[in-house]
């Protein structure tokens, strides 16, 4: 069995390792390391993002925390009862996830917010371990195409059998359903590719499937 999280000085992706090292020099008081998943391991619901944002999750050490995308994600998790407390964009804000966990397809911050195919493939071992160590896992919510493809690959399915579509539900077998959403990024929300209502519809579906 692989580890859940890359080593703090993980060397598997040289480009990402170099970027983290640069950022450790530039921002020595920030987290700057592979970002661990957040939330209880016995959750039924797993949200899979893309990768930490430089000044958000990479600075705070918690997925989506401090990233623009986190504002909508955490607000929606709170609204649908998958979180309790108050999201304050800090790892120590006391926010708790309820029956939900958040991870990223790639655990380290990439330059220009862009991951390579090799980095996704290399980091896949951690996503596989994540799924394998969530005994009650029923629903995976992929935020964006990269996450969707990583989940399809991690579960050993053919990409051609599961096309990404916003708010689509894919039966992956073994009681596991994959739901797709456009990523809640600043670009997607500013351009209205993803509205709050569209994102909430996805969570409505998750809630219905879990009840
Ligand atoms: N922050 C994350 O942790 N993941 C994303 O996909 C985007 C921002």
CATH code, 105: 3.40.470.10
* Per-residue pLDDT tens over the stretch 93-114: 999 999 999 999 999 999 999 9
The predicted structure's pLDDT at residue 5: 78
Q: Dihedral sign for Cα 89, 91, 93, 94, please.
A: positive
Does residue 124 belong to any structural domain of this protein?
yes
User: Mean per-residue pLDDT for 57-74?
Assistant: 98
Supply the residue whose CA is at minimum distance from atom 1 of ligand 1. Answer: 64
Q: What secondary structure letter does DSSP report for 67?
A: S
List the structure tokens of 134: 């969530």
Q: 120: CA distance to ligand 1 center in Å?
A: 14
In a domain, 33, yes or no: yes
Q: How far apart are CA 31 and CA 34, in angstroms?
A: 9
> Whole-model pTM above 0.95?
yes
- Can you give the residue range of the structural domain that contains 26? 14-210
Rounded to the nearest angstrom, the distance between the alpha carbon of 18 and the centre of ligand 1 is 20
For the chain, the average pLDDT equals 97
Asked if the structure places residue 37 within a domain, the reply is yes
Q: How far apart are CA 21 and CA 172, in angstroms?
A: 38
Q: Residue 88: inside a domain, yes or no?
A: yes
Q: Is 45 in the pocket of ligand 1 (CB under 6 A)?
A: no
The answer on pLDDT for 2 being more than 90 is no
69 lines ligand 1 (CB under 6 A): yes
Tell whether 9 is covered by a domain: no
| Whole-number pLDDT of residue 151 | 98
Q: Confirm or reject: Cβ of 34 under 6 Å from ligand 1.
A: no
Location of structure tokens 């970027």: 19
> Of ligand 1's atoms, which has the minimum distance to the CA of residue 183?
6
Per-residue pLDDT band for 116 (boundaries 50, 70, 90) equals: very high
pLDDT(4) > 90: no
Q: How many whole angstroms from 50 Cα to the centroid of ligand 1?
A: 6
The alpha carbon of 1 and the centre of ligand 1 are apart by a number of angstroms equal to 26
Cα–Cα dist 78/195, whole Å:
17
Q: What is the mean pLDDT of residues 72-90?
A: 98
**Domain total in the chain:** 1
Q: What percent of the chain lies above the pLDDT cut of 90?
A: 96
Say if residue 1's pLDDT is above 80: no
Q: Which 8-state DSSP code applies to residue 174?
A: T
DSSP per residue, 108-157: SPPGGG---HHHHHHHHHHHHHHHHT-TT--EEEEESHHHHHHHHHHTT-
Is 1 part of any domain?
Answer: no
The verdict on residue 204 lying in a domain is yes
- Using a 6 Å cutoff on CB, does residue 54 contact ligand 1? no
Q: Determine contact, residues 37/127, Cβ cutoff 8 Å.
A: no
Q: What is the pLDDT of residue 94?
A: 98
Atom of ligand 1 nearest to the CA of 105: 6
- Residue at 4 is within a domain: no
> How many angstroms is it from 209 CA to the middle of ligand 1?
24
pLDDT tens-digit map of 144-199? 999 999 999 999 999 999 999 999 999 999 999 999 999 999 999 999 999 999 99
What is the arrangement of strands in the sheet containing 100-104, beginning at the earlier edge strand?
100-104, 45-49, 139-143, 176-181, 169-173
């Amino acid at each position: 069995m692989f580890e859940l999280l890359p080593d703090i000085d993980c060397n598997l992706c040289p480009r990402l390792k170099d970027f983290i090292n640069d950022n450790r020099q530039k921002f020595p008081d920030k987290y700057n390391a592979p970002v661990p998943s957040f939330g209880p391991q016995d959750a039924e619901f797993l949200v899979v993002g893309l990768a930490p944002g430089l000044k958000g999750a990479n600075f705070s050490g918690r997925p989506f925390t401090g990233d623009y995308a986190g504002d909508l994600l955490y607000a929606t998790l709170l609204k649908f009862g998958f979180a309790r407390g108050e999201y304050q964009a800090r790892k120590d804000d006391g926010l708790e996830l309820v029956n939900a966990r958040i991870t990223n397809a790639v655990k380290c911050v990439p330059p220009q917010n862009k991951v390579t195919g090799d980095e996704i493939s290399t980091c896949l071992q951690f996503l596989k371990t994540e799924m394998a160590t969530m005994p009650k896992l029923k629903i995976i919510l992929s935020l964006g195409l990269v996450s969707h493809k990583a989940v399809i690959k991690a579960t050993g399915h053919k990409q051609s059998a599961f096309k990404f579509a916003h708010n689509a539900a894919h039966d992956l077998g073994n009681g596991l359903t994959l739901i797709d959403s456009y990523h809640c990024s600043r670009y997607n929300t500013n351009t209205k590719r993803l509205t709050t209502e569209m994102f909430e519809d996805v969570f409505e579906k998750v809630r219905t499937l879990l009840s």
